[in-house]
Amino acid sequence: MKQSKTRFGLIGTVLLSLLLLCSLFLSIPNGYVGDAARTKESAFSDDFNSSVLNTDNWTASSATDAAVKDYGGAIQMVNGQFSPACNWMGLNNSAASDGKGTPLTEDYILEMTISRDCNPSDWFGLYIGLDSPDQNFTTIIGQPGNVLVFTDSSINNYNGFGTQPKEGNVTIALEGDKAMTSDGTMYAVKVVTHIKKTASATGDFPENSADIFIAPMPESGEPAYGEKVGTIDNLSLAGYFGFGSLSTGTVTVSGIKVTDGASGDVLYTPKGDLKGDCIDFMEGASQADPQKEFRMWQSADLRLEGSYFTGPLGKARVANGASIESKYRVQSDDRLISAFDLSYQLHMFSVGADGMNLIVGKNASSQTVVNLKTVDGKSVLSVGDSRYAFGEELSGANLFTFRVKTNGTADVYCNNAFAVTLNGFTSVDGSIAFVSTGSDSTFEVDNVTLNVYSYVSSGSQSQAIDFTIKDKDGITYLNGENWYIGGSAMKTRYDEISFINADPNANFSTKHQYADFVLNFDLYDITQGAGGCSWIGITFAKNRYTDGYAQAPTITFAPRNENHDTGIVGVMNIEGLSGVQFNTASSMIESSYNFFQDMNSETGHERINVRLVAVNRTVTLYFKYADEPESMLSVPRAVVEDINTFGYIGICCNYNGNFAVSNFSITNLDPNRSFIAEGEVEESKRVTGDASLLA
């Protein structure tokens, strides 16, 4: 076997690299020179799903103990349906090692918070008095146990699906201010049981009853139940309890607590992260781990497919002048323009006179205050004199993302759409905090994620190869230390590397990694194979040089609307694979160029000059026909923002790849720049639609 041989002499490589570098900086468009390579890392995230505030992440103010409420321990049931061909879900308070737990036998009080975001007639079911933790809506029929069905207008007692309720008071009408609306409003529900009989051979419990109290959840503090909404008689109450739903929407249960009816002692509350303590039946398991506190149960004759358990839905509620402050301290790098990305979900319940404050860069000497409040009926975001008014007052939960930079600015996104660039971020190094500004300021935060940036660079040499130098035997060789060829359908010949009826295994790649770089190459001899044309792809940020388009971000020239009989390709798209989304909020851009049709004698086009520029996690694609003016190579054809670029770089294709590449060069920008300019992003390159900023 021949050893790989060096393609270029040392002097030739140096001269070619210098020429490329000089021409490169003359041709790179404005806005690219000046930012250093960077990598994004997760500093911390918190979904507030534990039963108490995570002190590893947060420090609470002295007023916070009573003002921050964690809804950890919530269960969400989505599209929970019951019919012969539909789905079932349920939870039980089975905790013992034998999987049976300890049934409730004395008077008890069951409290919970219920939210229904569904049709008014869709119901939430509270299962009580179950004889076994394995019972469900089918096995309860004819057995001890009841289902209290909650809808907008009533609470009904059912013994089982399709059967009549037992004798006694079986329905409570919910009218007026007692109605439970199905618009996502949270209601506190309390069931006070009166157990006179724990077992019955006939399934009748005429002396047992339950008083039910319902109250909307207040913005802060505990619910004031007031008078009961009614009493339901003849209930099986001793035993186990659980939950279910018949809903085309979402039903959420949280704040579960069981207390002794006589002493008031707490008998049971969910412990820890419910998702970790429950079986996820989407994995197909039929029985829960008996060691878990909660058990999922299901019937063998029912399918579980459309419904699912999403785990706890904790939130941190901050009110009455309280605050929570991160223990993590941002330390930015002045070689980078990016300091950190902060994302969180915010639900304002009471804005108050001064709104709420987000504090960033909090340290011993300074901080930056970002205020959100309502002015003239609109939500206004401000940092000092820099302000932005939304088109209306924000309502419900909204996702905010701040991309904070070391130059004192921050790009702000609301619900993944770009909103504004704010100035005035004079302090970025330090902690972050969420602050209630007073007794009239109440809000909830959830899913807080902080990503920070650190400086990375590649010391790899710039490289170029034109496939022209041959050994004395006339065969072209590649330096195996610099270049990789994978797949058998590729040949180096005639000053080019040719893809001949190639498949997805075809891979021409660098063996050096790059972060900020410029890739140049010529593309030509694009022909149709036996099965049509293949897209032609540029792959970057590869973890291994052997990786293909399935493992790394890839930008392709894709033939579309192809007539396989005539060979005519109707249009060429620029398409992204493996996570590539362009700043048009799409993974596809229709091009006015069509490489698959235009390379012929009639047009006179023989080659395409292709350039890919990666700077500061932004990748820009340029190309032109070789006979077009050089200025055309400065026109951006596609832009990908906030994407990892560090790794190996290569050319690939799909099936029936027939094309040639020559004059392939990589210029490493990292060694040539070590400090950032102000480097504002050109307006034409700014994300204007959906932006997955924290992926």
Q: Name 573's bridge partners.
A: 558, 590
Between the ranges 56-60, 335-339, 379-383, where is the mean pLDDT highest? 379-383
Average pLDDT over residues 130-138: 65
Q: What is the distance between the terminal CA atoms of the chain, rounded to a whole angstrom?
A: 45
- For residue 14, pLDDT beyond 60: no
28: in domain? no
Asked if residue 176 and residue 141 are part of one domain, the reply reads yes
80 band by pLDDT with thresholds 50, 70 and 90: low
Q: For 5-29, give one letter per residue: b (16+ CB within 10 A) or e.
A: eebbeeeebeebbeebbeebeebbe
Which domain, by its residues, includes 571?
Answer: 466-674
pLDDT of residue 314: 60
**Whether 58 and 77 share a structural domain:** no
Same domain? For 430 and 537 the reply is no
CA–CA gap between residue 669 and residue 641 (Å, rounded) = 18
Q: Name the band, by pLDDT with cuts 50, 70 and 90, for residue 423.
A: very high
pLDDT band of 682, cuts 50, 70, 90: very low
Q: Please state, in angstroms and rounded to a whole number, the distance separating the CA atoms of residues 403 and 40.
A: 12
Can you tell me the mean pLDDT for 156-177?
70
> Does 349 map to a domain?
yes
Shared domain for 349 and 390, answered yes or no, is yes
Question: Average of pLDDT values for 594-604?
Answer: 83
> Residues in the chain, how many?
695
User: For position 307, what pLDDT does the model report?
Assistant: 29
Is 5 within the bounds of a domain? no
Instruction: Tell me the range of 75-84, 175-184, 248-257 where mean pLDDT is highest.
Output: 175-184
Lowest mean pLDDT across 204-208, 395-399, 529-533: 529-533
pLDDT recorded at residue 679: 34
For residues 211 and 266, membership in a common domain is answered with yes
User: Is the domain of 570 the same as that of 613?
Assistant: yes
Q: What is the DSSP letter of 159?
A: S
Among 87-91, 229-233, 436-440, which range has the highest average pLDDT?
Answer: 229-233
Q: How does strand 648-653 pair with strand 154-158?
A: unpaired
The pair of three-digit structure tokens given for residue 119, joined into one six-digit string? 């049709």
Residue 329 lies in a domain: yes
Q: Do 298 and 375 have their domain in common?
A: no
Q: pLDDT at residue 96 above 80?
A: no
Q: State the virtual CA torsion across 103, 104, 106, 109 in degrees, nearest 10.
A: 180
Closest residue by Cα to residue 508 from 490, 528, 534: 490
Place of tokens 């210029």: 667
pLDDT bracket for residue 509 (50, 70, 90): very high
Confidence check: pLDDT of 375 > 50: yes
Do 298 and 224 share a structural domain? yes
Report pLDDT for 603: 78
Given a contact cutoff of 8 angstroms between Cβ atoms, the answer to whether 125 and 149 are in contact is yes
- How far apart, in whole angstroms, are the C-alpha atoms of residue 331 and residue 549? 35
DSSP state for residue 627 in the 8-state scheme = T
Burial call 182-214: b when 16+ CB within 10 Å, e when fewer? beeebbbbbbbbebeebeeeebebeebbbebbb
CB atoms within 10 A of CB 554: 24
Please tell me the distance from the alpha carbon of residue 682 to that of residue 634, in angstroms, as a whole number.
14
CATH number for 526: 2.60.120.200
Q: Mean pLDDT lowest for which of 28-32, 180-184, 278-282?
A: 278-282
Alpha helices in 362-405 (DSSP H): none
Domain final residue, candidates 423, 455, 487? 455
Number of domains in the chain: 3
462-504, pLDDT tens digit by residue?
A: 887 777 655 555 555 667 788 898 877 788 776 788 999 898 9
The vertex-391 CA angle with 388 and 397, nearest 5°, equals 90
Are 281 and 339 found together in one domain? no
Band of pLDDT at residue 66, cut at 50, 70 and 90: very low
| Secondary structure (3-state) at 669 | coil
Same domain, 384 and 420: yes
Distance CA 533, CA 527 (A): 7
Count other Cβ atoms within 10 Å, centred on residue 60. 17
Q: Which two tokens stand for residue 412?
A: 């702000």
32-36, 504-508, 625-629, 667-671 — which is least confidently predicted?
32-36
The CATH number assigned to the domain holding 404 equals: 2.60.120.560
Is the pLDDT reported for residue 26 higher than 50?
no
End residue of a domain, out of 455, 477, 503: 455
> Domain for residue 530, yes or no?
yes
DSSP 8-state code for residue 460: P
Q: Do residues 13 and 464 make contact, with C-beta atoms less than 8 angstroms apart? A: yes
What is the percentage of the chain residues whose pLDDT exceeds 90?
A: 32
* Residue 124 resides in a domain: yes
d(CA 48, CA 72): 6
> CB–CB of 641/31 below 8 Å?
no
CA 617 to chain centre: 19
pLDDT computed for residue 538 by the predictor = 97
Q: What is the mean pLDDT of the chain?
A: 75
Residue 527: helix, strand or coil by DSSP?
Answer: coil
Q: Based on the domain organization, do 309 and 389 belong to the same domain?
A: no
Min mean pLDDT across 193-202, 316-325, 686-695 is at 686-695
> Does residue 265 sit in the same domain as residue 367?
no
Collapsed DSSP state (helix, strand, coil) of residue 598: helix
For residue 571, give every residue at least 6 positions away whose Cβ sits within 8 Å of its Cβ, in sequence order, or none: 560, 561, 590, 591, 594
Q: Is residue 374 exposed (0-12), middle (13-18) or buried (19+ Cβ within 10 Å)?
A: middle
| Per-residue DSSP letter, 628 | S
Q: Confidence class of residue 602 from pLDDT cuts 50, 70 and 90?
A: confident
Q: Are the beta carbons of 636 and 537 closer than 8 angstroms?
A: no
Instruction: Please give the pLDDT value at position 532.
Output: 74
Domain termination residue (choose one: 398, 421, 455): 455
Q: Would you state the structure tokens that stand for residue 518, as one six-digit string?
A: 């410029």
Strand partners, 240: 130
Domain-located, residue 378: yes
Q: How confident is the model at residue 226 (pLDDT cuts 50, 70, 90)?
A: confident
Give the pLDDT of residue 87: 29
Buried-exposed string 615-624: b where 16+ CB fall within 10 A, e elsewhere:
bbbbbbbbbb
**Structure confidence by residue, pLDDT tens digits, 551-586:** 999 999 999 998 877 778 899 999 999 989 898 878
Residue 693 lies in a domain: no
